[in-house]
Amino acid sequence: MSEQSSNMVALMEHAAKALVEKPAEVLVESFDEDGEIVLEMTVSEDDMGRIIGRQGRTARALRHLLRAASMKTNKRYELEILE
């Protein structure tokens, strides 16, 4: 039973777009790697700092959010932020 469809790609895209100066350049793609789903995120080079955050705190917060939301999907997700 899942009337609400969780969408991890849309979730990460939505969160990233809220954080950056150039939301149009946010791209999240998903790849299935041996049962684990890897989300690859690309943002404008100028926005890299905003996505990573001081001492990596923003990136860590995105991963915490992904981990919590993905618990309902019964799949493992990993967020990779591409340089």
Partner 1 sequence: MPIPDKIAAANKINEFLTGIVKHGGLRLKYRITVDPPLPEERDWERPEILVEFAGPDSSLLLDRGGEVLRAIELLAIEMLRLPGNEHEKISFDCNNHRSMRIEELRIAAGVAAERVRKTGSPYEFAPMSSRERRIVHLALRSFEDLHTESQGEGSRRCLVVYPKNYKQEGKAR
Angle, helices 57-70/8-19, rounded to nearest 10 degrees: 150
CB 23 within 8 A of CB 47: no
Shortest reach from residue 74's CB to partner 1, in Å: 12
State the Cα–Cα distance between residues 43 and 39, nearest whole angstrom: 13
Binding mask 9-48 for partner 1 (x = CB under 8 A): -xx--xx--xx-----------------------------
CB 33 within 8 A of CB 77: no
Size of the site for partner 1 (CB under 8 A): 28
Shortest reach from residue 44's CB to partner 1, in Å: 16
State the Cα–Cα distance between residues 22 and 32, nearest whole angstrom: 27
Residues that bind partner 1 (CB under 8 A): 2, 4-8, 10-11, 14-15, 18-19, 50, 53, 55, 57-58, 60-62, 64-65, 67-69, 71-73
